[in-house]
Amino acid sequence: MPSLLAKNEPQMNSLSTQTPAAPAGSTTALPPGFELGVSTSAAQIEGASALDGKGPSIWDAFCARPGMIKDATNIDVACDHYHRYAEDIERMRWLGIDAYRFSFAWPRVQPLGQGAWNEAGFAFYDRLVDTLLEAGIRPNATLHHWDLPQALQQSIGGWQARETCEHFAEYAAEVARRFGDRLGAISTLNEPWCVATLGYERGQFAPGLRDRAAAMQVSHHLLLGHGLAMQAMRAALPARADGTKSQLGIVLNHTPAFAAEPTPEDLHAARIADGLDVRWYCDPIFRGAYPADAIEHLAVDAPRITAGDMAHIRQPLDFLGVNLYTRHWISTRNPPLPAPGRHGFSDMGWEIVPEVLTQHLVRLARDYMPPPMFITENGMANADVLVDGEVHDTARVDYLRGHLDAVARAIELGADVRGYYYWSLLDNFEWDSGYAKRFGLFHMDYATQVRTPKASAHWYREFIARHRAQR
């Protein structure tokens, strides 16, 4: 087996614009047992935002603020998955997926984010999990996919307050106690970078703050909350008859930074971007310290760390979830050099670069020696149109093929990657973009709630069937 990248391989700009493109129709095989699935999250699909005792989340509140969501929509109904989960699971069964990654809405099961549990909320997830198991699909849950109880935001400032870490750990333990007999995996957080940076520094996501020092304190509290939740769940997980337990981990989003040119300015900017994105979360988790260059760059905005915090954060993981969609192209010229976009750009304007996925997985394996990795999200928004009941999203098929190939190559190079989850099952609420951006394998008609499989759904289904046949 070829070895991992050599230690001295440059990280920031080693994929030059001359890197050969991935062969379009290549069929690199994934190893037998490699898991194929799809991902969603509660706030983006469930709807029923005030039903059966659910409390409001910061995203309910954010949608109500004029100008925050580009198409002025909200998540009251979304894909109505709360009522249509059973038919959506039928779609998953049709696709043939091994596992489904969804999230619990914290305010659905604990409306105030502390204190009383909402039994009707837990009953929904019982139905969801049991129906998945009956369909032969492994349920993998995320505890916090951004929809923090609004009550915690209002009363103590959400993740700005250290107490939120403890409330989060209590919620995590309760889910582990109640669902640990049935969940394949539990992730503490989804993409803490987005919560801290987009939510508290750039004001683009809920709760909509613009304060870098607050955002960095939030990032530290998210990591601390993760560490406390891991410990609380380890203690609370029930034993199963077969001796197995739910696997525990975290999902990080990585947008690897690439210097447009090998100038000192571009290389420095790429290094700082990498420090605040990839290393800011991986270093504490795997090494117990924040990266020194990022701390120095942040200066007075660096977070306050209490003695003992880093030990709480550095908890052993059973798996690492990696969400990767694109790269961060960094040019300090004025005007900046545009990203090459040899495989094009998605409808989000994100550059399509499948080879970055290979390179990044190999880098993570080399730099952090993580536990088994899963691609917990990867996908593209496409300007899909439904014509005569069909959606010809060939760009998405190319994206899927290119990225599955990229994962297979990373495995050949020695990275331990065990699964891939496409984002997303259905078109859904794409945060501040509202419903205007479509990532789904199934097209949503939001007026009628009709779901239609796109060409990419048919392609993924066949891919999964072929993969199954070689096991």
| Range in contact with ligand FCB (rule: CB under 6 A) among 108-116, 190-198, 278-286, 441-449 | 190-198
Calculate ∠ Cα 325-142-209, nearest 5°: 70
Q: Which of 194, 215, 298, 391 binds ligand FCB (CB under 6 A)?
A: 194
> Whole-number minimum distance, CB 337 to ligand FCB, in Å?
25
Smaller CB separation from ligand FCB, 191 or 398? 191
The catalytic position among 191, 201, 351, 355 is 191
Q: Report the site for ligand FCB in 347-406 (rule: CB under 6 A).
A: 377
- 134 a catalytic residue: no
Tokens 């209590």 — which residue?
170
The catalytic position among 35, 201, 355, 377 is 377
41's tokens: 């999250």
Which x/- pattern, by CB under 6 A, does the window 33-72 give for ligand FCB?
--------x--x----------------------------
- Residue pair 426/442 in contact by the 8 Å Cβ criterion: yes
Q: 463, 444, 461: which is closest to 81 by C-alpha?
A: 444
423 binds ligand FCB (CB under 6 A): yes
Cβ atoms within 10 Å of 158's Cβ, excluding its own: 24
Smaller CB separation from ligand FCB, 259 or 352? 352
Smaller CB separation from ligand FCB, 144 or 167? 144
Q: Which of 114, 253, 331, 382 binds ligand FCB (CB under 6 A)?
A: 253
Q: 117, 103, 102, 101: which is closest to 55 by C-alpha?
A: 117
| Range in contact with ligand FCB (rule: CB under 6 A) among 60-68, 92-100, 186-194, 255-263 | 186-194
140 binds ligand FCB (CB under 6 A): no
Distances (CA, A) of 359 to 268, 309, 327, 364: 20, 31, 11, 9
> Whole-number minimum distance, CB 365 to ligand FCB, in Å?
22
Tell me how many residues contact ligand FCB (CB under 6 A): 12
Smaller CB separation from ligand FCB, 88 or 377? 377
Q: Which of 140, 190, 326, 378 binds ligand FCB (CB under 6 A)?
A: 190
Smaller CB separation from ligand FCB, 398 or 427? 427
> How far is residue 35's CA from residue 411's CA, in Å, rounded to a whole number?
13
191 binds ligand FCB (CB under 6 A): yes
> How far is residue 209's CA from residue 211's CA, in Å, rounded to a whole number?
6
Smaller CB separation from ligand FCB, 197 or 331? 197
- Residue pair 410/377 in contact by the 8 Å Cβ criterion: no
Cβ atoms within 10 Å of 316's Cβ, excluding its own: 11
- Residue pair 209/215 in contact by the 8 Å Cβ criterion: yes
- 377 a catalytic residue: yes
The secondary structure of 183-224 as a DSSP string is: -SEEEEEE-HHIIIIIIIISSSSTT----HHHHHHHHHHHHH
Calculate ∠ Cα 87-90-94, nearest 5°: 145
What residues are labeled active site?
191, 377
Contact set with ligand FCB (CB under 6 A): 41, 44, 190-191, 194, 253, 323, 377, 423, 430-431, 439
